[in-house]
Amino acid sequence: MELSESRLDEIWEIFEQKTEDAMMEWIEIQPDKDLIHEYFNALIPRNQPNPPKQ
- CA-to-CA distance for 37 and 13, rounded, in angstroms? 16
Nearer to other proteins, 48 or 54 (CB): 48
The reply on whether position 8 binds other proteins by CB under 8 A is yes
Helix, strand, or coil here: 2?
A: coil
Residue 30 Cβ vs other proteins, minimum distance, rounded to whole Å: 12
Residue 37 Cβ vs other proteins, minimum distance, rounded to whole Å: 4
The reply on whether position 44 binds other proteins by CB under 8 A is yes
Within 10 angstroms of residue 5's Cβ, the number of other Cβ atoms is: 8
